[in-house]
Structure 1
């Protein structure tokens, strides 16, 4: 599972999903747009439009799935609820992974039911280029004794471990910067899949009025 607002989806998101699947030998990566993220502002465009853009971005990429389940639930988009759904879907012995970026990881202790996340899945922290910060005491306590140093060690049990993973490409593309460029009419070429760029420009999404 790789969640996020995908506001909008860009090549950094998609390349991370591809490299995550390759690095860990995953069967598939569920890319899950958040409907109402509890710890950040409301996305600029509607959930359905973000899902449509994600589907355009994924296209026919093997192993990537645009998963709408958080858009179909009422209330905040809690990852624990999404992982509960996936656990029921795949069964108690499946090896489930929730991937998140380093900036989101630093706030993990503030998430809804953070301990429950480890009961349901392994957590994989995708390192972000030139991004580092000390861990807060609550976060250090939450992950104490959970860290492993290889993907192989994750597969020894269905859930409960934490792996920090440096992906090969480490594309430092920011959705905030993409939105800023779209708002002012600057080029976003090579930051987004061509199909996503075409839809955004055709519908003037994120363009400042």
Structure 2
């Protein structure tokens, strides 16, 4: 069954704005996990972060422009259609209901977000719905905080093949080949200061930001 079951990925974030680091990681995740598709899902109101600088609709438009015709990547607006905080467990439940019980559903998160996982809304429920793939960073490692260790330690697997033997419930750290050290904070700082963001953003995203006057310092 594991050879024929759908493999569906979810990569959430504020994408404020989407940049080449996000997109290259998405492509490498899609390829490494042999996904059928990867849903990139901007958060309406991230529960553990401040409110994004531009509207959800604008961030979705930038994400759509950034993805363009990239195979396998989908700009998914489901969290923007829900009121209130964007809980990953609710999003995974929606995806699970769409793809069925047999599909391999994977939520990918960065290492920084992973360290706060025990603080998330219904963290145990995440594993009832999906696998967790943590995009590891070179030099980052154990020991994990005790509550996080209790949550994930017994779920850890050491290969993608092992992870994909079941529809959900596993945890895999994964180092991507070209983890790009670009942060949305740095991109916003450059834009606010009127500095170049060339080679940090896809050209269509840079053009859309320029045309919309987004992330400019208020006078």
* TM-score exceeds 0.5: yes
1:179 corresponding residue in structure 2: 188
Partners of 1:126 and 1:155 lie apart in 2 by 17
Secondary structure, in 3 states, of the residue corresponding to 2:81? coil
Once the two structures are TM-superposed, the CA of residue 133 in structure 1 deviates from its matched residue by 6.7
Tell me, yes or no, if structure 1 residue 17 matches structure 2 residue 11.
no
Q: 1:132 offset after TM fit, Å?
A: 5.1
- More deviation in 129-138 or 49-58? 129-138
Counterpart-to-counterpart distance in 1, 2:138 and 2:200:
16
Decide whether the 8 Å contact of 2:18 with 2:66 is kept in 1: yes
Q: Which residue is equivalent to 2:126?
A: 117
Q: 31, 38, 48: which one pairs with 1:39?
A: 48
Q: Matched residue of 1:70: which SS?
A: helix
Give, in angstroms, the shift of residue 128 of structure 1: 2.9
| 2:74 aligned partner | 65
Q: Name the stretch that deviates more: 97-106 or 198-207.
A: 198-207
Counterpart of 1:206 (choices 200, 212, 215) is 215
How far did residue 83 of structure 1 move? 0.1
Q: Which runs of 4+ in 1 moved over 6 A?
A: none
Aligned in 2, Cα 1:42/1:129: closer, same or farther, shift over 3 Å?
farther
Equivalence for 1:27: 36
1:129–1:172 CA contact under 8 A, matched in 2: no
Q: Is the 8 Å Cα contact of residues 156 and 171 (structure 2) preserved in structure 1? A: yes
The two structures, once aligned, show a CA RMSD in angstroms of 1.0
Matching residue of 2:62:
53
CA contact 1:17–1:29 (8 Å) conserved in 2: yes
Q: Does 1:193 align with 2:202?
A: yes
Gaps of 5+ in 2: 1-9
Equivalent pair of 2:138/2:175 in contact (CA under 8 Å): no
- Number of residues of Structure 1 aligned to a counterpart in Structure 2: 209
What is aligned with 1:89?
Answer: 98
CA apart distance, 1:134: 3.8
Shift of 1:130: 5.1
Q: Note the alpha carbon deviations across 1:90-146, whole angstroms, 9 max, x for none.
A: 001110000000000000000000000000000000023555574111000000211
Gaps of 5+ in 1: none
1:181 Cα deviation from its structure 2 partner: 0.4
State which of 156, 181, 185 in structure 2 corresponds to 1:147: 156
